[in-house]
Amino acid sequence: MTRSTPATRTVVVTGAASGIGLALVERLLDREPGTRVIAIDIARCPDDRAHPLLTDLSDLEAVAALDLPDHIDALANVAGVPGTAPAETVLAVNTLGLRALTFRALERMSAGGAVVNVASIAAHRNTLAHDDIAGLLAVRDREELRAWLSRVQIDGPAAYDTSKRAVVDWTVALSASLQPRGIRALSVSPGPTDTPILSDFEQSMGAEAIARSASMVGRHGTAAESASVIDFLLGPDAAWVNGIDVPVEGGLTALRAAAIPLPLSRPRTRVDIAE
């Protein structure tokens, strides 16, 4: 199996204009100046070393028209819309556009390639049933998305949670389907992260809830911390890591679980009573 050397890789990064996406672009180019980074976003990537492609990922026609390179070594789907946006917009970007771009990139990817999708620990907040998630992942265009939304009736914040659950589940299925091609697929689930849209999450999820998360682990995460995990998973050093979701949240999930009262008392038996 052959693989492009790090100095000649072509990596596509969505959401490259700010936050985790921009941190990933900068990390890639700082360490591998020869890497060709295709920076996809609705706004221009501030890092002039990247090759910008401006597009709205909620527009499937625009995604189909993207002038992608002939060969792609890795794809990082970082772009995401928070729950302050309408539910249709959230799902159009976070699930429909993500999948459309991924399929386009996979047409140009060979063995040794990798796809990393950014989900969120908010996926655990999803309340929809598995069949509803499967229905969302079967949606092919905006018309079908509207029909799906008319059935499930969720608002923007709930749509965000559901979109991230869908991303995690879809990534697992994608990994299995790509196994014969030697292409890996993984997801990364950040916790609350200090990015330009943190205030949107405070609005959609509640400022107190976001602050409580920070107080449990000591602070919010940084974009660079999530970017470093994505960078590793995209590269050859992670060649034997596949089909999983990697939480990047400072141990928040473990701390929440540990806060649940445990059954510490031992049930007494007749022998105990006799003693």
Tens-place pLDDT, residues 189-235: 999 898 877 777 778 788 888 888 888 889 898 999 999 999 999 99
- Reported as a single tens digit per residue, the pLDDT across 155-190 is 999 999 999 999 999 999 999 999 999 999 999 999
**pLDDT recorded at residue 275:** 60
Torsion from C-alpha of 33, 34, 40, 42, nearest 10 degrees: 50
Helices (H), 138-190: 142-152, 156-178
**pLDDT recorded at residue 208:** 86
List active site positions.
160
Closest CA to 115 of 182, 23, 26, 195: 182
**pLDDT recorded at residue 215:** 85
**Cα radius of gyration (the chain):** 20
- Reported as a single tens digit per residue, the pLDDT across 106-163 is 999 999 999 999 999 999 999 999 999 999 999 999 999 999 999 999 999 999 999 9
Beta strands at 221-222 and 74-77: parallel, antiparallel or unpaired: unpaired
Calculate the alpha carbon distances from 241 to 26, 67, 72, 148, 187 in Å: 23, 30, 19, 34, 11
Burial of residue 269 (CB within 10 Å: 0-12, 13-18, 19+) is: exposed
Instruction: Evaluate if residue 260 carries a pLDDT over 70.
Output: no
Q: Which residues contact 135 (CB under 8 A, 6 or more apart)?
A: 148, 151
* Farthest-apart Cα atoms in the chain, separation: 80
- Reported as a single tens digit per residue, the pLDDT across 57-113 is 999 999 999 999 999 999 999 999 999 999 999 999 999 999 999 999 999 999 999
Instruction: Evaluate if residue 7 carries a pLDDT over 60.
Output: no
Instruction: Evaluate if residue 6 carries a pLDDT over 50.
Output: no
82 within 8 A of 197, measured Cβ to Cβ:
yes
Domain boundaries, the chain: 6-249
CATH superfamily of 6-249: NAD(P)-binding Rossmann-like Domain (3.40.50.720)
Closest CA to 160 of 75, 57, 88, 63: 88
